A and B are shown apart, each in its own frame.
Chain A
Amino acid sequence: MRVQAYFDGEVDAVSAVEIERHLERCAECRELQRHLSQTRTALRRDLSYHRVPPALAARVRDALADEPVPVAAARERLRPLRLPRLRPFWSGALSGAGLSAIAAALALFLWLPPRTDAVVDDLMSAHLRSVMSTHLIDVVSSDRHTVKPWFAGHTDVSPTVADFDSQGYKLIGGRAEYLARQRSAVLVYQHGAHLIDVFTWAADGTAARGFNEVTRSGYQLLFWRQDDLEYCAVSDTGRDELQGLARLIQGIR
């Protein structure tokens, strides 16, 4: 169980060192670790990933469109919070306009984004737009000699283009996005069942961002700067996977 927790990245640094030391000595645990790794590789590579068929997506959208949006929804949600014994007090304090105002304030508070950063918003929107629509790729190719010249004609930057298929990150194409007031380049990689967008735009020279991680709505964004370009990898895959790709891209010059 400890080897599994270590394999899943669920142990602290001290335990990890202990387990690594144990793995050096114990052939049985090394074998277990190898099995875990093989199982994960096989599942991520070969297990069917079922995407929503277009007909079902349409059905769900229709069903959602028919769903009314009750004006007093927030008010109803709060009702179970009232304790029966305190009812006279609460019903007075929270009645009518008072309750609505509190509900509205609460809703506003809950929905404030954890971080207001225009670039993060733009990147998330661009990524989601492309995943949700069919505009995923403008130039379909795993060949960097096809993708790179295409960028030259369609974007303001010329990013590093490389395929890392053997390392698990398959280049499937590129597209152009308008971002940070310029035509930025997007490389699209496939990693297992996940798509990773790597955005590239010219750094403006002021905001030195470093290596920076942001999580938004279950999506990971990983920023870094390379030469005079800003990079950001966006995906619903894990943080480790994004860092793996970032390191590969940083490794080539």
Chain B
Amino acid sequence: MDDKRRRFEAQVLPHLDAAYNFARWLAPAPGDADDVLQEAALRAFRAFDALRVSDVKGWLFAIVRNCHFTALKQRQRRSQVPLPEEHDAVDGEAMIADTPDPETLAIQLDQARTLDQLMQALPCEYREVLTLREIEDLSYREIASVINAPIGTVMSRLARARALLKGHWLEKVEGAPRAVR
């Protein structure tokens, strides 16, 4: 096996599970995430020579994210659905995704499933910062570099995402509509 492959296997492949989990939270349909992961792995391999970052994991996340958005645009173009407009993070409530509607989620589902669905109901911008911060434990700076946005945006999205998730959780589990903080 040649040197490049060996380095790639040692440095990039260990992060494949994390990359896949991230892809699954970006593109909820498993088939889509599978394609995104394969494409991302290939792109990562091709770009590997030029890699000069120390944060391999964040670099791989950024590639997964680019592949996701490229695939999403292709799917949307194919199905003739117009692209959604770019939303501003400040306009939080308007960004709640239309499917699946949190109100229609079955109430009796167990906690994990409920949490999965509540997460799924959040807009992509919020799912990705939550996954990167809470599950992958990336710093603000690392997240900013993955999503290619200023740290201030990371912080405001994170705050909004957490508040929305918490608010929906309280509504769902405790049945009490409360002010989203």
**Bound CA span A46–B133, Å:** 15
- What are 9 residue pairs bridging A and B, where the CB atoms are less than 8 Å apart in the complex? A1-B159, A4-B162, A35-B181, A43-B115, A47-B135, A56-B20, A64-B41, A77-B50, A193-B21
Residues of A120-137 contacting chain B, CB below 8 A: 125, 128, 131-132
Verify if B5 is at the interface (C-beta below 8 Å from A): yes
**Bound CA span A138–B166, Å:** 40
Verify if A8 is at the interface (C-beta below 8 Å from B): yes
Min CB distance A70 to B, Å, is 9
Complex contact A217–B11 (CB within 8 A): yes
Verify if A74 is at the interface (C-beta below 8 Å from B): yes
Verify if B98 is at the interface (C-beta below 8 Å from A): no
**Bound CA span A237–B56, Å:** 14
For residue A42, which residues in chain B have a CB less than 8 angstroms away from its CB?
111, 115, 169
Verify if A218 is at the interface (C-beta below 8 Å from B): yes
For residue B119, which residues in chain A have a CB less than 8 angstroms away from its CB?
43, 47
Verify if B91 is at the interface (C-beta below 8 Å from A): no
For residue A241, which residues in chain B have a CB less than 8 angstroms away from its CB?
137
Q: A60-B37, A111-B7, A218-B56 are in contact. Are A32 and B20 (CB under 8 A)?
A: no
Residue of B nearest to A46 (CB): B112
Min CB distance A233 to B, Å, is 15
Pick the residue among A8, A52, A77, A193 that contacts B16 (CB under 8 A).
A52
**Bound CA span A70–B5, Å:** 12
Residue of B nearest to A219 (CB): B14
Complex contact B165–A39 (CB within 8 A): yes
Complex contact A63–B115 (CB within 8 A): no
Pick the residue among A10, A47, A74, A128 that contacts B10 (CB under 8 A).
A128
For residue A111, which residues in chain B have a CB less than 8 angstroms away from its CB?
7
Pick the residue among B10, B134, B140 that contacts A43 (CB under 8 A).
B134
Residues of B92-133 contacting chain A, CB below 8 A: 111-112, 115-116, 119, 130, 133
Residues of B128-153 contacting chain A, CB below 8 A: 130, 133-135, 137, 139-140
For residue B18, which residues in chain A have a CB less than 8 angstroms away from its CB?
236
Min CB distance B48 to A, Å, is 9
Verify if B24 is at the interface (C-beta below 8 Å from A): yes
Residue of A nearest to B135 (CB): A193
Interface of B is mostly: helix
Q: A52-B16, A132-B14 are in contact. Are A43 and B181 (CB under 8 A)?
A: no
**Bound CA span A114–B55, Å:** 13
Min CB distance A57 to B, Å, is 7
Complex contact B52–A110 (CB within 8 A): yes
Residue of B nearest to A103 (CB): B49
Complex contact B14–A131 (CB within 8 A): yes
Verify if B38 is at the interface (C-beta below 8 Å from A): yes
Verify if A214 is at the interface (C-beta below 8 Å from B): no
Residue of B nearest to A124 (CB): B10
Verify if B62 is at the interface (C-beta below 8 Å from A): no
Verify if B4 is at the interface (C-beta below 8 Å from A): yes
For residue A1, which residues in chain B have a CB less than 8 angstroms away from its CB?
155-156, 159
Complex contact A47–B116 (CB within 8 A): yes
5 closest Cβ contacts across the A-B interface?
A218-B57, A238-B137, A50-B24, A46-B112, A77-B50
Verify if B2 is at the interface (C-beta below 8 Å from A): yes
Residues of A57-71 contacting chain B, CB below 8 A: 57, 59-60, 63-64, 67, 69
For residue A250, which residues in chain B have a CB less than 8 angstroms away from its CB?
none
Complex contact A217–B14 (CB within 8 A): yes
Residue of A nearest to B48 (CB): A73
Verify if B67 is at the interface (C-beta below 8 Å from A): no
